Chain A
Amino acid sequence: MTLNNDQYRQLFIEEAKEHIDTLTKSMLILEKQPENTEVVNMLFRSAHTLKGSSGMMGFKDFQELTHAMEDVFDDMRKGSKPSSNLITLLLECVDALSQRLENIQNQVEGEINFEQFKCKLQALKSQFCAVEPEPEKNKSSKPSAIESMLAVVSKVANEAVEQAECTGEKCFAVDLRFSADCGFKSIRAGMVLERMTEVAKVVESVPANGELDEEKLSQGFKLIVTSKFDEKAIENCARQVLEVEQVSVTPFDGPVSSVKEEPVVLPPENNYLITIEDKTITKVVAETHAAQSVRVKFDQLDKLMNLVGELVINKIALIQVTADNHGDSLKRITENIDRLTADLQDLVMQVRMVPVSQVFDRFPRLVRDLSLKKGKRIDLLMEGRDIEVDRTVLDEIGEPLIHLLRNSIDHGIEIPEERAKKGKDETGKIRLAAHRNGNHVILEVEDDGSGINPESIKKAALKKGFATEADLEKMSKDKLINMIFQPGFSTAKDVTETSGRGVGMDVVKTKISALGGTVNLDTQIGKGTKTAIKLPITLAIIQAILIKDAAQTFALPTSQVSEIVRVKKNDVKSLGKINAILLRDHVVPIVHLHELLGLPDSGEDDFELVITYLGTENTQLGVVVDSVLRQQDILVKSLNGPLAKIKGISGATILGDGQVVLVLDVDQFVNRVLKNSEVQ
């Protein structure tokens, strides 16, 4: 049967994504703990479910590959031990599957050729089958198959009944039938299982959760549950799932008899063992899904956020209007609205928060693959996976973190022999941690590798012409190390090899400062390197300074501004090509904003100076503007379409009067101007 209904397709895609995640995670656990049978079962179940649902959707290639994978997992269940090669291959298969899934989602037609994976799987499989030819041995003393099934069911069920009595719950047998022509029985059955967790604890299901085949389900679906609710509640709960035609809930106390009445539901093949092993999984599922929540689409949250942002803007306008008006009751209402909007805004921000684990959880795989490739042994320790940040921030931190992790793997952690020589543990450690600090989140990547040698940075800096020997002599160690953040310093290959570190560090810095954050690097030769990224929890609403230049209003994030100074034209000293001012005996180079923006000069005599940080907190630049208007909270909206990727403009905001104002990222503009002048 082939179903192509959009709704089913979406269901399938969402379900498949979860299973693909499970496969990846479980495989990484399996590699570390080859004895863990529960993980193998989880893998088998996921592959099996994917096989079933993809087949129903008519994605034949998908089905065949998952089938091949399922076979491999089946062998593992019978005792074969997976090699690292096999895990790698299986992970590649998972990648191929998720690629295919993406195509399905984007409605790209055409099957992907999975043949090569299937062949390789076959090859590896025959290898390990040859090495361990004793899959069934220790399960030799099976009595009759049905008896063993009954024994297990009754054992589990009896335990459940006993337990239920202790806790004051009752035990029920639930008998479900789907309407004959309903599609996707396996997914629906899964939904029933999930729904059940709201009112009851599922003790046993026949067919078991991993075996929810279309064929078996057509004969019905039976559950044994314990619950503190009555029959009616359980029945109502099951009926919430569409196409459930018949539900009967009966008190359950003697498992043997009830199972005997329905011997039909037993799988026809000799697969009883699956049911037995899967009972643990069913329990796990029942427990993990207990949290009550709803799924909301991100773009709906964005819309909600936009609306609240509008409300905030209008609230500001309202406050401005009523400030001149002395009516007491009007003022009270305005104050109430002010408070309510603030609460609403806080709440919406909270709802948009997502745990960093959504990004972090990709990394164990990345670290594993890279370290294998480099012949290194690395443990990745993650802390603070549950720290929450706004989704806008989460979307942006993945790339910089990958850069940092790569650096640690490529250049930080040494190969095992070298580590042994140095008296370190042969297995290197990378620590990835998130923690919260007020309105900021701090992300740290720390390795216990070789650290950065300032000498090699000196060499590279000289070679690239970033500094003269005399400059370098004067530089503090910190300043020297921070040179790797300079654009162009670390991108070239030869630099990477000689300096031993620094791939894309300028990329990291650029990205982070564009987000209004800072990067700090701390390194000790021989001991390791620690990079800390500090970011605001949200990017959506920020504090900004409104300025006017070239007859246009702009917004600058307050996080980029260190102070505001009023200067006269003749305070400016010329240093050849560059102008500068003296600020408390420090020379601060200055640049006109309209020059950065390529706009005409407005010809004002007096002007104000906004001192900004450039990336790191100790580089300052004065930006000359006509006037500084005020500071206020703004809601940053990203620019789309042809304006999506203009460097230096991080978005726009709408002021109380409806005017659109651009939000600038001065750092990026300076880079742009520097690059242009180099070209000339």
Chain B
Amino acid sequence: MASMGQQSSEEMQLLTFTLDNVFYGVNVHQVREVKNFEGVTPVPYAPNYVKGVTNLRGEVIPVIDLRKRFGITDKTEETTNIMIIVQDKHPIGVMVDSVMEVLTLPKKDIETNPDSLIVDKSEAVIGVAKHESDLIILLDLMKVVSKEATNMKEENRGFQIKVQTQPKA
């Protein structure tokens, strides 16, 4: 994967965040900045996972509701942060519950063939990382917001994660 090319071969830096009490991680290089969640203008007839548009220093950018994207039906609004990623030169905001920290993990702690764990129709999940006692689901944010995924039919949207409470030996 090209976006992961700049790191040392043994380690990987992850920006972690929570969504509906689950830990997720993304390659730090995919995230341009993190801003506080405020003032999103809803857009009529937008795809349902798009929360609306917001003002990023004079630019109008779309904001994606990751809960809707992942088919989380829980209605509680806990969003505190928006991660800004750049796709095709256009910044896009991704709403998450809250951004945690940047972790540097050895690559050996990252399981990149997680077929056994995940049913994923968008190929957005690229692996699972172990950190202390937690499991972190690795996402490719570009896939999450990609055009192909945008065109997915309603019933195919999102994915289910069969996170096992006991990590594999």
A residues apposed to B, CB below 8 Å? 299, 306-307, 309-310, 552, 597-599, 637, 639-643, 646-649, 651-654, 658-662, 672
Selecting from B38-46, B101-109, B161-169, the interface stretch reads B38-46
The chain B residue sitting closest to A599, CB to CB, is B44
The answer to whether A658 touches B55, judged by C-beta atoms less than 8 angstroms apart, is: yes
> Would you call B16 an interface residue if the criterion is a C-beta within 8 Å of the partner chain's C-beta atoms?
no
Residue numbers of B with Cβ under 8 A of A are: 39, 41-47, 49-50, 52-55, 58-62, 64, 87-90, 92, 145, 147, 150
Q: Which residues of B contact A306 (CB under 8 A)?
A: 58-59
Chosen A-B contacts, 8 in total, with CB atoms closer than 8 Å, are A552-B42, A641-B62, A642-B50, A649-B44, A652-B60, A654-B55, A660-B52, A662-B41
Q: Which 9 A-B pairs have the closest CB atoms?
A: A640-B90, A597-B44, A660-B41, A310-B58, A652-B60, A637-B60, A643-B62, A641-B62, A642-B150
CB distance from A250 to the nearest CB of B (A): 51
**Is B39 a contact of A646 with CB atoms below 8 Å?**
no
Which residues on B sit within 8 Å (CB–CB) of A659?
Answer: 39, 41, 55
Cross-chain contact A660 with B46 (CB below 8 angstroms): no
Cα distance, A642 to B94, chains bound together (Å) = 12
- A643 and B61 CA atoms in complex are apart in Å by 9
B45, A646: Cβ atoms under 8 Å? yes
Are B64 and A660 closer than 8 Å at their CB atoms?
Answer: no
Which residue of B is nearest A651, CB measured?
B60
- B46 near A642 (CB under 8 angstroms)? yes
Q: Smallest CB–CB gap between B47 and chain A, Å?
A: 5
Contact of B55 among A299, A598, A660 (CB under 8 A): A660
Residues of B within 8 A of A653 (CB): 60
Q: How far is the CB of B145 from chain A (nearest CB, A)?
A: 7
Instruction: Report yes or no: A646 in contact with B61, Cβ–Cβ below 8 A.
Output: no
**Nearest neighbor of B92 in chain A, beta-carbon distance:** A641
User: Is there contact, CB below 8 Å, between B60 and A639?
Assistant: yes
Docked Cα-Cα span, A418 to B42, in Å, equals 58
A130 shortest CB reach to chain B, Å: 53
Let me know if B60 and A660 touch, CB within 8 A.
yes
Given contacts A599-B44, A662-B43, contact A640 B61 (CB under 8 A): yes
A647–B50 contact, CB under 8 A? Answer: no
Residues of B near A299 (CB, < 8 A) are 89
Given contacts A642-B62, A652-B60, contact A660 B54 (CB under 8 A): yes
Across the interface, do A552 and B41 meet the contact criterion of CB distance under 8 Å?
Answer: yes
A639 in contact with B39 (CB, 8 Å): no
Nearest residue (CB) in B for A313 is: B58
| Supplied contacts A642-B50, A658-B39, 10 more A-B pairs, CB within 8 Å | A307-B58, A310-B58, A598-B45, A639-B43, A643-B46, A643-B50, A646-B43, A652-B53, A659-B39, A672-B45
Q: How far is B59's CA from A307's CA once the two chains are assembled, in angstroms?
A: 10
Residue of A nearest to B150 (CB): A642
Whole-angstrom distance between the alpha carbons of A307 and B57 in the complex? 10
User: In the complex, what distance in Å separates the CA atom of A567 from the CA atom of B44?
Assistant: 26
Determine the distance from Cα of A647 to Cα of B43 in the docked complex, in whole angstroms: 11
**A299: nearest residue on chain B (CB-CB)?**
B89
B47 and A642 contacting across the interface, CB-CB below 8 Å: yes
Task: Please indicate the chain A residues that have their CB under 8 angstroms from the CB of B53 in the complex.
Answer: 639, 643, 652, 660, 662
A648 to B45, CA, bound (A): 9
Enumerate chain B residues within 8 angstroms of A642, measured Cβ to Cβ. Answer: 46-47, 49-50, 62, 64, 145, 147, 150
Enumerate chain A residues within 8 angstroms of B150, measured Cβ to Cβ: 641-642
> What CA separation (Å) do A658 and B35 show in the bound complex?
15
Contacts of B89 on A, CB cut-off 8 Å? 299
A227–B54 Cα gap in the complex (Å)? Answer: 58
Q: How far is the CA of A370 from the CA of B25 in the complex (A)?
A: 56
Q: Which residues of B contact A646 (CB under 8 A)?
A: 43-46
A contact residues around B43 at 8 Å (CB): 639, 643, 646, 649, 662
Distance A634 CA – B150 CA, assembled complex (angstroms)? 30
* B59 pairs with A637, CB closer than 8 A: yes
In the assembled complex, the Cα of A662 lies from the Cα of B49 at a distance in Å of 18
Chain B CB within 10 Å — which of A310, A641, A672 has the most? A641
